[in-house]
Amino acid sequence: MTIHSNSTLVPDVLPGLAHRTLAGAEHGLEHLAIWSQSIAPQGATPPHFHDCEEAIIVQHGEGTLVFAGEQRQFRAGDTIIVPPSVHHQLINTGDGPLVLVAALSTANVVVKLPDGTPLDLPWK
Query: In the complex, which residues of this chain contact its own copies (CB under 8 A)?
Result: 1-7, 22-23, 27-32, 34, 52-55, 57, 65, 67-68, 72, 74, 77-83, 86, 88, 101, 103-105
Alpha carbon distance 12, 14 (integer Å)? 5
The whole-angstrom separation of Cα 24 and Cα 43 is: 25
**In this complex, which beta carbon is closest to its own copies, that of residue 13 or of residue 29?**
29
- Per the CB < 8 A criterion, the answer to whether 60 and 96 are in contact is yes
Q: What residues contact residue 93 under an 8 Å CB cut-off, 6+ apart? A: 62, 63, 64, 73
Cβ proximity to its own copies: between 74 and 92 the closer is 74
Whole-number minimum distance, CB 15 to its own copies, in Å? 24
Residue 15 or 75 having the CB closest to its own copies: 75
Q: Is 27 helix (H, G, I), strand (E, B) or coil?
A: helix
The least CB distance from residue 116 to its own copies, in Å, is: 19
Please give the C-alpha separations between residue 97 and each of 19, 38, 44, 59, in angstroms, as whole numbers: 13, 6, 11, 10
- Give the nearest distance from C-beta 45 to its own copies in angstroms: 14
Q: Which is nearer to its own copies, 35 or 97 (CB)?
A: 35
Say which DSSP state 25 is in. G
Minimum distance between the CB of residue 60 and its own copies, rounded to whole angstroms?
12
